[in-house]
């Protein structure tokens, strides 16, 4: 998932595009929004999961509206809490390394060149309608070499894949607590041996210097498991508040 923007419509203000790509079949979901507030992202994700299905993982960058608060980093934001509530494992890429989200970044470029910059939109309402048309066109007509020439729709048909979706009448859940689940944070350890988890910095072994590690927060156990590749190299306490 990524947010593109702000982009502008002449005479009708700015907007953002929440773009989601399914790594299995490269199907795209596009949600145009007036702001990048976390509540709008959450409603967009819920609508996405009603059609594309609930993912195992949701990979994103470290934008504040995705992760939560700098002041209370362990309270986690609405996006993380929504993921945990539906059993989705949020994954945060290394800081300032957007190429780690390369699949959605590539789609963002397609969105800009093939959609946003190729036509004129008389209003935000028109753009919202046209973005959904572009989403349908992409999923049925865009051929990927990664999929051996198939479109996302053809890939899904070939594998007879039926996603597990959120019910069409599902409302946004009350997220005043942190559900049980897993949150992964990918980080590069520099010579200062500091691991940054949402602004908090933890000392790690000198053996991890100049390596990428995955810090997996297990909310129900109040711990972080630190991985180098597939090997657990450390575990430390990470208290998560019970009430928000």
Q: What is the mean pLDDT of residues 108-131?
A: 95
Q: What is the mean pLDDT of residues 28-32?
A: 97
Nearest Cα to 4, choosing from 110, 80, 94?
110
119 with 21, same domain?
Answer: yes
- Max Cα distance, the chain (Å): 57
Q: Is residue 229 part of a domain?
A: yes
Residue 243 pLDDT class (50, 70, 90 cuts): low
How confident is the model at residue 63, as a pLDDT? 95
34 with 126, same domain?
Answer: yes
Which residue blocks in the chain are alpha helix, DSSP H? 38-51, 64-67, 78-85, 102-110, 124-141, 152-158
Q: Is residue 139 part of a domain?
A: yes
How confident is the model at residue 75, as a pLDDT? 94
Q: Is residue 149 part of a domain?
A: yes
Half-sphere CA count of 58, side-chain side, radius 13 A: 31
223 with 102, same domain?
Answer: no
Q: Is residue 19 part of a domain?
A: yes
**Residue 242, pLDDT above cutoff 90:** no
How confident is the model at residue 122, as a pLDDT? 94
149 with 198, same domain?
Answer: no
Burial 25-61 (b: 16+ CB within 10 A, else e): bbbbbbbbbeebebebbbbbbbbbbeebbbbeebbbb
Q: What is the mean pLDDT of residues 49-75?
A: 95
Whether pTM exceeds 0.85: yes
103 with 201, same domain?
Answer: no
Q: What is the mean pLDDT of residues 91-110?
A: 94
129 with 229, same domain?
Answer: no
How confident is the model at residue 9, as a pLDDT? 95
232 with 117, same domain?
Answer: no
The span from the CA of 213 to the CA of 186, in Å, is: 6
Q: Is residue 165 part of a domain?
A: no
Please give the structure tokens belonging to residue 78.
């609405």
**Residue 161, pLDDT above cutoff 90:** no
What integer best gives the mean pLDDT of the chain? 95
**Residue 193, pLDDT above cutoff 80:** yes
Q: Is residue 66 part of a domain?
A: no
126 with 44, same domain?
Answer: yes
Q: What is the mean pLDDT of residues 56-69?
A: 96
Residue 151 pLDDT class (50, 70, 90 cuts): very high
**Residue 18, pLDDT above cutoff 80:** yes
The span from the CA of 22 to the CA of 152, in Å, is: 9
233 with 189, same domain?
Answer: yes
Please give the structure tokens belonging to residue 71.
């002041």
Domain count, the chain: 2
100 with 15, same domain?
Answer: yes
Q: Is residue 143 part of a domain?
A: yes
Residue 179 CA, chain-centre distance (Å), reads 18
Residue position matching structure tokens 């967009």: 44
Each residue of 205-237: pLDDT tens digit? 999 999 999 999 999 999 999 999 999 999 999
Q: Is residue 35 part of a domain?
A: yes
**Residue range(s) defining the domain that contains residue 212:** 182-237
151 with 207, same domain?
Answer: no
Percentage above 90 pLDDT, the chain: 94
146 with 188, same domain?
Answer: no
Which DSSP state fits 87?
Answer: T
């Amino acid at each position: 998932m990524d947010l593109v923007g702000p982009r502008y419509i002449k005479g009708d203000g700015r907007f953002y595009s929440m773009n989601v790509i399914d790594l299995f079949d490269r199907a795209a979901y596009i949600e145009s929004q007036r702001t990048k507030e976390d509540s709008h992202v959450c409603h967009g994700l819920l609508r996405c999961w009603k059609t594309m299905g609930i993912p195992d993982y949701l990979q994103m960058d470290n934008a504040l509206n995705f992760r939560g608060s700098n002041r209370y980093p362990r309270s986690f934001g609405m996006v993380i809490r929504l993921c945990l509530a539906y059993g989705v494992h949020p994954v945060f890429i290394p800081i300032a390394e957007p190429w780690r989200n390369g699949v959605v970044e590539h789609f963002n470029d397609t969105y800009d060149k093939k959609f946003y910059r190729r036509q004129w939109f008389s209003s935000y309402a028109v753009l919202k309608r046209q973005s959904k048309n572009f989403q349908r066109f992409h999923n049925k007509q865009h051929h990927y070499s990664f999929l051996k020439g198939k479109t996302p729709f053809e890939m899904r048909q070939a594998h007879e894949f039926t996603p597990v979706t959120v019910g069409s009448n599902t409302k946004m859940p009350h997220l005043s607590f942190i559900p049980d689940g897993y949150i992964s944070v990918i980080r590069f350890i520099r010579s200062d041996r500091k691991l940054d988890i949402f602004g908090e910095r933890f000392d790690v072994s000198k053996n991890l210097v100049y390596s990428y590690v995955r810090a997996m927060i297990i909310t129900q156990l109040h711990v972080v498991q630190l991985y180098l590749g597939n090997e657990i190299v450390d575990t430390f306490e990470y208290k998560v508040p019970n009430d928000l």
